[in-house]
Structure 1
Amino acid sequence: MTTLSPTSAPAPHAGRTTPASGTRTTGRARRSWTEHGLVFVAPFLVVYALFLIWPLVSGLGMSFTDVDITAVGGEFVGLANYAEAFGDPAVWASLWNTVWFTLLSTVPLVVVGLVLALLANELRVVQWLWRIGWFAPFLLPSGVVCMLFLYMIYPSGFGLADQLLASVGLEPGIGWLTDERYAMLSIVLTTVWWTVGFNFLLYLSALQAIPPHLYEAAELDGASAWRRLWHITLPLLNRTTGLVLVLQVLASLKIFDQVYLLTGGGPDDSTRPLLQYVYQQGFTGYRIGYASAVSYIFFALILLVSLVQPVLARRRRAEEAAK
């Protein structure tokens, strides 16, 4: 039997060619570029920087100048625009209108969305029709929604609401959009009908994720439907409720379309939100620098509100871990 000597053993890489170091380095760099996904997100980053980051930086710079809409001026004025904004009564009145609308709309949007989801979760035959019926208005543009409600609450007895009042013997001609007592409530009603479908779907998806055996065990223990709702359903929906609250508050603070299309600011600016005031200062009063300062003050307020949800989530996780 013949044996191979160590000197006659074939080389482990015999017959293979070693690539040049430059080629290997280039290929590694190309793989590193694609492995990190930069080549795929680069177009989005360019568009994001061009249409979001640059306007943010540019607007912040304008807030320290007296530039107008025709780009005339632009002299540096420091914090003068911010000082004027904090001392402007119209800013505080518009901010109060925004907060008042948020308070009036958030509670019914959360409660109605939860109630509709609870009812839909109990349906077994036409649940799909219930879901479509309540989510479909959310897909409509704001202009279409406002035109529908203008038809229904049109004053002087021509609207559907006034006709219903007249049919039951009540006095028609209520100024739904021209009376300070009803203008904001009319906008809230329009918003609730328009956007409650989004909260409804969030709650419905959370309800369908609750394990059924929890309800079965509670029912075997003799728990009533109310107790199952109070001790099982609502506690398990806490995270969804927190998310809905934060999203709803942020959306309500940014109200503009409904007010501008329905009331134009309302009688004596009683429904004018802060974003409409920014629009008027920038595109009607031509004070781009001052409008930028007001908008960045409002941006800081929204940023503070948006930080509430992560803080609450961390606190809730800490409490759960402590238990």
Structure 2
Amino acid sequence: MSSAAVDVGRDRTRSRDASSPTTRTQRSRDTRIGWLFVAPFVVVFAMFLLWPLLHGLWLSFTGESITGAGGAFLGFDNYAEALRDPIMWRSMLNTLWFTILSTVPLVLVALVMALLVFQGLPGQWLWRLSFFMPFLLASTVAAQFWIWMYNPQLGLVNYMLGALGVEGQAWLQDTRWAMLAVVVQTLWWTVGFNFLLYLTALQNIPEQQYEASALDGAGRWRQLWSITIPQLGPTTALIVILQILASLKVFDQIYIMTQGGPGGVTRPVVQYIFEAGFTGYRFGYASSIAYIFFAVIIIVSLAQVPFTFRRSAR
């Protein structure tokens, strides 16, 4: 008997087995068991993500207040008011400015730190610990630490500048420096996570590539630009996306360090949403701003998709 005939016979046997009542019963049982295991996640997802998402969307079309009054349906009035609100737009611009200022150094500094450790600095465990340790701190601890660092009279920053003959500043109270001061605090606090991602990616680059290039006469700089940086392309794209999304949602450190001041120059949009809902008692209006901001995040995320796939394809 030919092999083709044997294969046809096997296919027919499998087809009969798949359509048999016993097989259908087994599949149905496996499906029920699968849903049983998935059920806890589905319940949690529905309670803490899906329901708040839908309820918040409904609130954005109403005049709901924190007291529960004024819940009449307003249509798109809240959205129209938000789009005419200069404070909302200023908060959006503050958020965008913070994202631009923080994303670039958080990527570059993390890369430099990872390269230094990867090249074999003495006492690597100490460097890894010191670079990553700040990321483990709570936002309140990290913010309070830098509030003392920026203190105009007793802070370490002004003390060090004074030792260099440079005049100190009221960093968190000056409209020129407040945002930059928060960016420096955020860099110190969160760069450890990006550093860890870069270090992991560096350790996954095949050593044979460096050995082959060394045989061809390539030095460390040539290896860096021709091997290391290109191999880190997908990791860099991932870090940039994560960092942009994290910076757009900034709230904790700014609220603790400056409360959005001085003069509103550091107020992010998330803080304005909080103030509109819990200080102005306008849940409906706050929800409309939140969904406008959500749409902005979706647009930014989608805009990065082609760039990410292009870098990954290389």
TM-score by shorter chain over 0.5: yes
Alignment of 1:145-156 (within 5 A): 145-155=142-152
Q: Per-residue deviation at 1:124?
A: 6.3
1:312 deviation in Å?
2.5
1:224 maps to 219
* 4+ aligned runs moved over 4 Å, structure 1: 21-28
The alpha carbon displacement at 1:125 in A equals: 5.0
Partner residue, 1:16: none
Cα-to-partner distance string for 1:43-89 (whole Å, 9 max, x where unaligned): 11101110110000000000001111111011111111111111111
Residue 159 of structure 2 is aligned with which of 163, 178, 183? 163
Of 61, 68, 73, the match for 1:71: 68
Q: CA deviation at 1:218?
A: 0.9
- Choose the corresponding residue for 2:279, options 277, 284, 288: 284
Native 8 Å contact 1:142 1:258 kept in 2:
yes
CA 1:24–1:220: 2 relative to 1, 3 Å: closer
The 5-angstrom pairing of residues 83-102 of structure 1 reads 83-102=80-99
Identity percentage over the alignment? 55
The alpha-carbon deviation at position 28 of structure 1 amounts to: 5.2
Task: Give me the whole-angstrom Cα distance separating, in 2, the residues matched to 1:82 and 1:144.
Answer: 36
1:71 and 1:171 mapped to 2: Cα distance? 52
Match of 1:62 among 59, 63, 74: 59
Whole-Å separation in 1 of the counterparts to 2:70 and 2:98: 36
CA drift at 1:39: 1.6
Q: Which residue of 2 aligns with 1:244?
A: 239
The separation in 2 between residues aligned to 1:138 and 1:166, in whole angstroms, is 29
Shift of 1:131: 1.4
> Aligned with 2:201: secondary structure?
helix
* Larger Rg computed on CA atoms: 1
Aligned positions of 1:166-315 closer than 5 A: 166-172=162-168, 174-315=169-310
Which letter does structure 1 place at the counterpart of 2:160?
Answer: L
Which letter maps to 1:101? F
Unaligned runs of 5+ in 1: 1-20
Supply the distance in 1 between the matched residues of 2:113 and 2:213 (Cα, whole angstroms): 23
d(CA) in 2 for partners of 1:124, 1:103: 31
Quick check: 132-141 or 24-33, which moved more?
24-33
Quote the Cα distance in structure 1 between the aligned partners of 2:218 and 2:25: 68
**Structure 1 residues 203, 177: CA separation in 2 closer, same or farther (over 3 Å shift)?**
same
1:118 maps to 2:84: no
Deviation digits for residues 147-182 of structure 1 (CA, Å, limit 9, x no counterpart): 110111112x1111222233344434x110000111
- Paired residues of 2:234 and 2:312 also in contact (CA < 8 A): no
- 1:3 maps to which residue? none
Q: What is the rounded CA distance, in whole Å, between the counterparts of 1:308 and 1:138 in structure 2?
A: 28
Residue type at the aligned position of 1:33: R
Q: Deviations over 1:291-317 (max 9, x none)?
A: 000000000111122224433233446
Structure 1: which amino acid aligns with 2:174? D
**Conserved in 1, the CA contact under 8 Å of 2:133 and 2:192?**
yes
- Give the 3 Å change call, closer, same or farther, for CA 296–219 of structure 1 in structure 2: same
RMSD: 1.9
Distance in 2 of aligned mates of 1:94 and 1:234: 36
In the alignment, does 2:29 pair up with 1:30? Answer: yes
Is this contact kept in 2: 1:138–1:197, CA < 8 A? yes
Q: Partner residue of 2:127?
A: 130
